[in-house]
Amino acid sequence: SQTIHQWPATLVQPVGSPLSLECTVEGTSNPNLYWYRQAAGRGLQLLFYSVGIGQISSEVPQNLSASRPQDRQFILSSKKLLLSDSGFYLCAWTAGGPSGTQYFGPGTRLTVL
Amino acid sequence: GQQLNQSPQSMFIQEGEDVSMNCTSSSIFNTWLWYKQDPGEGPVLLIALYKAGELTSNGRLTAQFGITRKDSFLNISASIPSDVGIYFCAGQVNTGGFKTIFGAGTRLFVKA
């Protein structure tokens, strides 16, 4: 069966520091991968999605970036964090095809101070 | 762009009551999905709907894909305290990448 992992689970970072969040998927190949941000008490905001290695589409311009160095690995990064980057970051995957249902990871709680 | 209007934003109910929430849009979707998010965790898929008019149940949960393909509802019968969480609807269109649009969520509070 497929599983999706995210780490770290929680992170507290100072303003201006770099960021690296990792997401990996097991049990499937060539998944579509997604990064979402959820602000406190809010819905899901799509940040990036990837249909393959090295292929990244950005939905919202910001100081974040994403990379997909391997088929089942998706990384969210920033060179300098802002206070507004605080939130709950969720990675999701789909197998593509006619269903395309997204399955979410456990999330990373990021607090920028 | 496409948007989903999910309502209500929040609900405070007594244990044992039935719950109904819905999502509407001015756009047509090919798939409707309902997720539940427990505090501090990622959303978990509850029900997926693929055909207009489809009515699907998952235990005490029932969801329907509207005939017009522009709406969907989720019902929870005989609520229990563990139903507490945020419920998200999501609509998908097949544009070569299955773009998924999420509603803002309905926060459900259940009082024992």
Q: Which residues of A lie closer than 8 Å to B, measured between beta carbons? A: 6, 32, 41-44, 46, 49, 51, 88, 90, 92, 94, 96, 98-107, 109
Cis geometry, peptide bond prior to residue B81 (ω within 30 degrees of 0): no
Q: Considering only CB atoms, which chain A residues are within 8 Å of B92?
A: 100
Sheet strand arrangement including B61-65: B5-7, B19-24, B71-76, B61-65, B55-58
Of all residues in chain B, the percent with pLDDT exceeding 90 is 84
Q: What is the pLDDT of residues A37-80, one digit of tens each?
A: 998 777 888 899 898 899 998 887 679 999 999 999 999 999 99
The CB-side HSE value for A21 (13 A sphere, CA atoms) comes to 32
Mean pLDDT taken over chain A: 91
pLDDT band at B95 (very low <50, low <70, confident <90, very high): low
The 10s digit of each residue's pLDDT in B31-55 is 999 999 998 899 999 999 999 999 9
* Tokens at A87, concatenated: 């939130």
Cα separation of B88 and A44, whole Å? Answer: 9
Answer yes or no: is pLDDT of A99 > 60: no
Cβ contact A28:A92 at 8 Å: no
Cα–Cα distance, A108 to A22 (Å, whole number): 9
Task: Please state, in angstroms and rounded to a whole number, the distance separating the CA atoms of residues A107 and A23.
Answer: 9
